[in-house]
Amino acid sequence: MTRPPADGFFRERFGVDETGLARVLDGALERKVDYADLYFEYATQDAVALEEGIVKSGDRHVDQGVGVRVQADARQGYAHTDEISLESLRLATATARAIAAQTSQGGRAALPRRGGSGRDLYPVAGAPTDVPVARKVDLLERIDVYARRRDPRVAQVMASCVSEDRHVLVVGSDGTFAADLRPLVRLNVQVVAQSPDGSRREIGYQGMGGRYELERLLAPEAWQPLVDEAVRIATLNLDARPCPAGSMTVVLGPGWPGILLHEAIGHGLEGDFNRKGTSAFSGRLGERVAAPGVTVIDDGTLPARRGSLNVDDEGTPTRRTVLIENGVLRGYLQDRLNARLMGMAPTGNGRRESYAHLPLPRMTNTFMLAGSDDPQEIVRSVDRGIYAVSFGGGQVDITSGKFVFSANEAYRIEGGRLGAPLKGATLIGNGPDVLQRVTRIGGDLALDHGVGTCGKDGQSVPVGVGLPTLRIEELTVGGTEG
């Protein structure tokens, strides 16, 4: 069973019909413009959070609005309002078109054509926000009891369950008419462990989520391994030693360490930076930027993934884009504006946090294809270095190419064997050459558990990453031990 199609939602709820919307866009075309579009959004989010053994509060938020965008050459005018009506749209259009100075002969927007991708990557029977809150409360209470029974050193458990359901509709002056209905769920578990003598406290975090039924999170076989991991990391770190400092061989575990690709490569390949020539990757299509065997993909079409979309926030169907093929730079991530200005095709990567933001070229799910090396053998191949398996956030300076990502579970490798756990440390490298120093690629590609959020220009969007086990020579590790 699936839900009713997304495209009638705004017409039924706000009385904005297709012909009326085309006439609003005509208002934009009274000036000399290249393109104009409307973006409607109605989002419901709820969350319950537990600490000290009880769910202290519940949240529920409804956010609705519409944005009118006008493009003329490289200029964009944008006006948004939380009032969804044809009248407020006409006012917003008059504001947005002010960036186009010259009047035109006037034009008529193409009448909307049912568009979109014709697929549903995330069918659910009902909105996750409609699942009774009592069931979410019950889940968190079970998690608390389970975590405390796992290990007597567990001193504090914080857990939250977040659900979202987002209706979007894009109507463009070229006839684009694409609706999407996007569920998103997430479960977060954070555990504070305390050493028996009370001298050390450490935190462990695990989360999971995606665009799927909330039921999946409620199943013990889903959340118990998650809690086990949070407890394991928190207690492990009670014994962590100071991390070494300096340049050394680093082995990255599979999955979430794919954040390396997101920071080192992904942002630098976004169309806006490359159109402006501000990225360390600008003008380098066709050049070798990674070791042979390295292939990096951005794919917005993976079913039920957190970073996936049926259509992007400009109505373009998402797709699989090869960024690096066998070490050679092949493609950029494009939204409509930058694709047009660069004479390229949009890649379905035009994304925005909400109706209150302009779209930007953004990643979806970014990962490296598997190689053929045995992961255990990769660790054994290292004489001296570190093995990092879990990471917090990262960041990049796309112009200099310098990027960081922070390990929160790592081990020393000595003589091919894993040693003591290490305290968290930031790793820093240079995007355009870090992948040239990849010497081993495991056969164990894994995607993350669905917790990634990417920030750019103050806008947050959900993303995914993935990586096989990887050996990289000479990465700078920001520990404290000389």
Partner 1 sequence: MSADRERDAVRRALERARAAGADAADALLAESDSLEARVRGDEIDFVVQAREHTLGLRALVRGRAGMRSAVTSTNDLSDAAVDRLAGETVALARATAEDPAAGLPEGGFAPPDDDGRALGLAAPEDRHVSVEARIEDARAAEAAARAVDPRIANSEGSQAASERRRVVYGNSAGFLGSYESASHSLFCEPLARENGAMQRDYWMTVARRLDALEPPAEVGRRAASRALRRLGARRVPTCEVPVLFDPLTAPSLLSQLAGCLSGYAVYRKTTFLAGQMGEAIASPLLQVIDDGRRPGGLGTRPFDGEGLPTRRNVLVERGRLVSWLLDSYSARKLGLASTGSAARSAGSAPGVAPSNLWLEPGEKSLEAIIADTPRGLLVTELIGMGFNPVTGDYSRGAAGLWIEGGEIAYPVEEITIAGNLGRMLRDVDAVGSDLIWLSRVASPSLRIASMTVAGS
Q: Is 354 in the site for partner 1 (CB under 8 A)?
A: no
CA distances from 162 to 15, 185, 211, 214, 316 (A): 30, 6, 12, 9, 27
- Rounded Cα distance between 264 and 257, Å, is 12
Contact 184, 216 (CB under 8 A): no
Q: Is 156 in the site for partner 1 (CB under 8 A)?
A: yes
Stretch that binds partner 1, among 48-56, 180-188, 290-298, 300-308 (CB under 8 A): 48-56
Among 5, 8, 58, 292, binds partner 1 (CB under 8 A): 58
Type of residue numbered 56: K
- Rounded Cα distance between 35 and 92, Å, is 15
Listed in sequence order, the residues at least 6 apart from 465 whose beta carbon sits closer than 8 Å to its beta carbon are 256, 258, 259, 261, 262, 365, 366, 367, 447, 448, 452
Contact 210, 447 (CB under 8 A): no
Among 27, 112, 210, 424, binds partner 1 (CB under 8 A): 424
Q: Is 261 in the site for partner 1 (CB under 8 A)?
A: no
Q: How far is the CB of 115 from partner 1 (least distance, A)?
A: 25
Stretch that binds partner 1, among 19-27, 145-153, 240-248, 440-448 (CB under 8 A): 240-248
- Rounded Cα distance between 91 and 24, Å, is 10
Q: Is 372 in the site for partner 1 (CB under 8 A)?
A: no
Report the site for partner 1 in 102-141 (rule: CB under 8 A): 133-134, 137
Contact 163, 47 (CB under 8 A): yes
Stretch that binds partner 1, among 270-278, 288-296, 297-305, 373-381 (CB under 8 A): 270-278
Torsions phi, psi for 285 (to 5 deg): -55, 135
Nearer to partner 1, 425 or 465 (CB): 425
Q: How far is the CB of 63 from partner 1 (least distance, A)?
A: 6
Among 55, 378, 379, 388, binds partner 1 (CB under 8 A): 55
392 membership: H or E segment, kind and range: strand 384-396
Nearer to partner 1, 128 or 371 (CB): 128
Q: How far is the CB of 221 from partner 1 (least distance, A)?
A: 25
Q: Is 155 in the site for partner 1 (CB under 8 A)?
A: yes
Question: Interface mask (CB under 8 A) for partner 1, residues 68-107, using x and -?
Answer: -----xxxxxxxxxx------------xx-xx--------
Q: How far is the CB of 400 from partner 1 (least distance, A)?
A: 6
Among 243, 324, 368, 370, binds partner 1 (CB under 8 A): 243
- Rounded Cα distance between 108 and 100, Å, is 17
- Say if strands 365-368 and 402-414 run parallel, antiparallel, or are unpaired: unpaired
Nearer to partner 1, 66 or 382 (CB): 66
